[in-house]
Structure 1
Amino acid sequence: MSAAPASSLPPRGTRQREVIGRLLQAAEGPLDVPELHRRALGELPKLGVATVYRTLKLLQEQGAAHMVTLDGENLYEASGRGHHHHFSCRACQRVFTLHTCPVALPAGTIYPGGFVVEAHEVTLYGVCPECAKNSL
């Protein structure tokens, strides 16, 4: 019995890319690798964490995902969400995407002292609605 020609096989990792990409799209905010791995195991029970890292690298190279660094931790989110910021819940540790900008500081603004603004990132910290409700 001969093996099928390599060209007839699906590209390696396609299912992993599809699942991880979909999980990033559906997430309420950026995810760290352990959380992304945990969520993906529901559909890919044999998925290794190294595959998650490789897939994230590929998704970043393709422009489908990007890394966000919050408090020194690398998180990942789907690209193409436009200008947005994040809210980090101190109670449950989840990070949420905020779709409104709390800072009116467009690129090209000259900040006091002569600093020329090119972009900005804002992370708000506090308690998310679910944790606030549970603490009452």
Structure 2
Amino acid sequence: MTASVSRSTRQRDVIARVLQDAEGPLAVNDVLDRARLDLPALGVATVYRTLKLLTEQGRIHPVTLDGETRYEPSGKGHHHHFSCTACGRVFTLHTCPVSLPRGTVYPGGFVIEAHEVTLYGRCPDCAGASSA
């Protein structure tokens, strides 16, 4: 790996911070929009290259929700997601709504190794707006 690939850049730092500060995994366009608040001239190609590099470095990882790839920081431990059906934002849930420890034998002989859960509904902002 060359020094130019691994060195820190302002763009890379801003994109990493955007992902770190997000309430949940972000799509490429969300990363671009938020990063442009600090770097108005930032291009989508730079975002894609940076997301690829950060993924290769293990700093972030992709999450696929409803066929769309989003990105979030690595090292968050076991967690799940909530997808708002009104505004489209995705939030990280820090409690697990399912009690299926690794090694559990599910009816029919299925041995659980891991699980992913995405809950769908309205986030607090959208739920409040519809009741007002």
Where does residue 54 of structure 1 map in the other structure? 49
Moved over 6 A (4+): none
1:17 to 9, 12, 26: 12
> Structure 1 length as normaliser, TM-score?
0.89
Q: How far apart, CA to CA, are the structure 1 residues paired with 2:26 and 2:72?
A: 7
Report the 3-state secondary structure (helix = DSSP H, G, I; strand = E; otherwise coil) of the residue aligned with 1:135.
helix
Any unmatched runs of 5+ in structure 1? 1-6
Q: How far apart, CA to CA, are the structure 2 residues paired with 1:16 and 1:110?
A: 46
Where does residue 67 of structure 1 map in the other structure? 62
Q: How far apart, CA to CA, are the structure 2 residues paired with 1:29 and 1:132?
A: 18
Pair 1:36-2:42 in alignment: no
Q: How far apart, CA to CA, are the structure 2 residues paired with 1:56 and 1:38?
A: 14
> Structure 2 length as normaliser, TM-score?
0.92
Report the 3-state secondary structure (helix = DSSP H, G, I; strand = E; otherwise coil) of the residue aligned with 2:26.
coil
Any unmatched runs of 5+ in structure 2? none
Where does residue 3 of structure 1 map in the other structure? none
Report the 3-state secondary structure (helix = DSSP H, G, I; strand = E; otherwise coil) of the residue aligned with 2:86.
coil
Report the 3-state secondary structure (helix = DSSP H, G, I; strand = E; otherwise coil) of the residue aligned with 1:22.
helix
2:82 to 67, 84, 87: 87
Q: How far apart, CA to CA, are the structure 1 residues paired with 2:39 and 2:61?
A: 22
Q: How far apart, CA to CA, are the structure 1 residues paired with 2:7 and 2:49?
A: 12
Where does residue 109 of structure 1 map in the other structure? 104
Deviation at 1:33, TM superposition (A): 0.2
Measured against aligned partners, the alpha-carbon deviations of 1:27-56 in whole angstroms (never above 9, x if no partner) come to: 000000011001111111221101101101
In structure 2, do the counterparts of structure 1 residues 71 and 89 end up closer, same or farther at CA, with 3 Å as the change threshold?
Answer: same
Q: Which amino acid aligns with 1:82?
A: G
The number of residues matched between the two structures is 128
Deviation at 1:134, TM superposition (A): 0.8
In structure 2, do the counterparts of structure 1 residues 13 and 48 end up closer, same or farther at CA, with 3 Å as the change threshold?
Answer: farther
